[in-house]
Chain A
Amino acid sequence: MLVDSPLKLALGLGTGAVFGALLQKGQVGKYEVILDQLLLREGRVLRTMGTAVAVGSVGVHALAGAGYTRLQVKPLRLGGVIPGAVLFGTGLALLGYCPGTTLTAIGEGRRDAMVGALGMLTGALLYVRVYPTLKPVLEAGDFGKVTLPQATKTSPWPWVAALGAAVLAGALVFRKH
């Protein structure tokens, strides 16, 4: 097993603790809040995620542009991404928590989230078991680790600006909901 240095593990734990506290204070680790979003009764989850993406994209692209970090995107492999997204969405509707918010809900003490996490571990074991068989399917339709700016040969900044504008517009239009 590969083990990171204690310092790096502490850094991960600290970063995770801030992430978990933010999710908890944002109330997005709550089943009813997530279902309100999925059933389009209320939009707290989308507001939170949209703001995170808009704010995050500015800093991360600035850091990458200045050479302080490198983007780390997942490859676009249609055979894995599309069926994966469908299975993920179905499971999410059934469980009512996503992976990060399952951990948040466990932190709050929710019993159903603890059972959900056992299911998640089972899903991972199942994935390990069938991975060798599934590999050709997962890697079908491989376009590599590509970003939208790369695919369109454009600068990331118009995209970043558009994200910010979209989130701002959404916040103004839906400020009553």
Chain B
Amino acid sequence: MNALIQRSWSPYVVGAGIGGLSWISFASAKKPLGITTPFESTAARLGQLAPRASGVNAYLVKNDEVPRLDWEWALAAGVLLGSALSASASGDSDHGSVPRTWSRAFGPSRAKRFAGAFFGGTMMMFGARMAKGCTSGHGISGTLQLAASSWIFAPIMAITAGFVARKLLGKGRYAR
């Protein structure tokens, strides 16, 4: 019980926990841990509300896919739930909008931060669906299965993210 009240666990404990959880997900649901497939599925379901504007029918035909409310969808919802429970147990909630490193580079504007977060999220998800995986699906689940696709995705993604972060945020114009 005490551990749940603690704010921060060792990265090795957490990493071993996530590794162990991947055994459980493979043994129970026969599936790897991943986050972004349900976003695509949800987008397809939402698209069905306006099929002409969303172009969802052509997508469904070409993709041989149907929108799902499945184990993976519940998994993504569970991540949000588990984090909320953990953060409230340890008093680690945070309702902020503009992180320190961001505001050093771009100033304290909330609108600017929200615009960056929105476009960042858009690009990130589009890229994830192109590659069929994210930091979880490729970065953890794929690499641990020794998938060739994931061992190509993960380093390219990490180097790009590091390079862009350094260019954008490495030297804060608003620093001190």
Contact = CB atoms under 8 A, between A and B. Distances in A.
Interface string B16-58: 1111111111111111110110011011111100000011101
B70 A8 contact: yes
B175 interface: no
Contact of A14 (B15, B78, B128): B78
The A contact surface, by secondary structure, is helix
Contacts of B54: 125, 128-129
Complex A-B, nearest 4 residue pairs according to Cβ-Cβ distance, in ascending order: A16-B78, A51-B15, A119-B121, A107-B83
Interface string A48-85: 11111111111111011000111111111110111111
6 contacts: A2-B69, A35-B99, A49-B135, A80-B130, A83-B130, A115-B118
Contacts of A61: 145
Contact of B156 (A4, A53, A86, A107): A86
A99 B83 contact: no
Contacts of A51: 11-12, 14-16, 18-19
B122 A123 contact: yes
A30 to B, nearest CB: 8
Given A74-B150, A91-B125, A57 B144 contact: yes
A60 B42 contact: no
Given A147-B147, A148-B148, A72 B78 contact: no
A27 B1 CA distance: 18
**Which of B43, B73, B163, B169 has its CB near the most chain A CB atoms (within 10 A)?**
B43
B19 A116 contact: no
A92 B157 contact: yes
A55 B19 contact: yes
Given A92-B120, A128-B44, A3 B70 contact: yes
Contact of B128 (A29, A53, A84): A84
B176 interface: no
Contacts of B71: 4, 8-9, 11-12
